[in-house]
């Protein structure tokens, strides 16, 4: 069944494990990729992977990052800005660092977790 919101939103999804192959799944490559465009260009995204569905030694099969673009709100120049920023992040993807959980609740940890770079 198609969502009533489907005509208004077009998702852009990236496979974080392929984007950041140097970050192992237990070090949250999706979350590292979510943070990079936000820090670089104030672009928000959501991780759908090891932080959201992992835990207890379980690693999900996919590590995705998703942008949802409300198509009737943004202009072509907005989308161009997002594309340019993501390409810039991609060019320096090797500098993205693994993350570790500093604090998280047992339920819905992807909403409450505090993370830090694994080396800090």
pLDDT tens-digit readout, 44-73: 899 998 888 887 778 888 889 998 676 677
> 120: Cβ–Cβ under 8 A, 6 or more apart, which residues?
none
Stronger pLDDT, 6 or 24, i.e. the higher one: 24
> How many C-beta neighbours within 10 Å does residue 112 have?
11
- 8 A C-beta contact, residue 65 and residue 14: yes
Q: Global pTM?
A: 0.83
Domains parsed from the chain with CATH numbers: 11-117 (3.90.1150.10)
Stronger pLDDT, 27 or 8, i.e. the higher one: 27
User: What phi, psi does 102 have (nearest 5°)?
Assistant: -95, -40
């Amino acid at each position: 069944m198609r969502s009533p919101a489907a005509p208004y939103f077009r998702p852009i999804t990236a496979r974080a494990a392929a984007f950041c192959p140097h970050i192992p799944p237990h070090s949250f490559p999706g979350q590292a990729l979510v943070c990079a465009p936000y820090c670089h260009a104030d672009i928000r995204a959501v991780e759908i992977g090891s932080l959201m569905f992992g835990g207890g030694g379980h690693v999900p099969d996919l590590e995705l990052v998703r942008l949802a673009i409300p198509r009737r709100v943004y202009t072509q120049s907005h989308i161009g800005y997002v594309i340019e920023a993501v390409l810039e992040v991609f060019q320096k993807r090797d500098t993205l660092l693994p993350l570790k959980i500093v604090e998280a609740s047992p339920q819905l940890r992807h909403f409450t977790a505090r993370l830090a770079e694994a080396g800090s």
